[in-house]
Amino acid sequence: MSKSRNLFFLSSLSLVFIFALAYNFADRNITKLPSEPRTVNAEYDFDLRIIAAANAANAPRQTGGPLGLGRKALDEEITAWDLDIAPDGTGLPVGSGSVSYGEEIFSEQCGACHGDFAEGVDRWPELAGGEGTLADDDPLKTVGSYWPYLSTAWDYIHRSMPFGYAQSLSDDDVYAMLAYILYSNDIIDDEDFVLSNENFLDVEMPNAEGFIIDDRDMTEYPVFSQDPCMEDCKVNVEVTMRARVLDVTPEDDGS
> Which positions touch ligand HEC (CB under 6 A)?
31, 33, 109-110, 112-114, 124-125, 127, 142-143, 153, 156-157, 161-164, 169, 177
Contact 115, 121 (CB under 8 A): yes
| Comparison of 52 and 101: residue with beta carbon closer to ligand HEC | 101
| Comparison of 52 and 98: residue with beta carbon closer to ligand HEC | 98
Q: How far is the CB of 165 from ligand HEC (least distance, A)?
A: 8
Q: How far is the CB of 46 from ligand HEC (least distance, A)?
A: 17
Q: What are phi and psi of 91, to 5 degrees?
A: 100, -10
| Comparison of 52 and 146: residue with beta carbon closer to ligand HEC | 146
| Comparison of 36 and 220: residue with beta carbon closer to ligand HEC | 36
Handedness of CA 89, 94, 98, 102 (dihedral sign): negative
Contact 74, 52 (CB under 8 A): yes
Cα separations in angstroms, 183 against 89, 203, 209: 20, 11, 21
C-alpha–C-alpha distance, residues 234 and 214, integer Å: 33
Q: How far is the CB of 173 from ligand HEC (least distance, A)?
A: 8
Q: How far is the CB of 102 from ligand HEC (least distance, A)?
A: 9
Q: How far is the CB of 144 from ligand HEC (least distance, A)?
A: 9
| Comparison of 77 and 106: residue with beta carbon closer to ligand HEC | 106
C-alpha–C-alpha distance, residues 30 and 203, integer Å: 36
| Closest CB to ligand HEC: residue number | 110
Tally of CB atoms within 10 A around 127: 26
Q: For residue 33, give the nearest of 131, 108, 93, 105 by alpha carbon.
A: 108
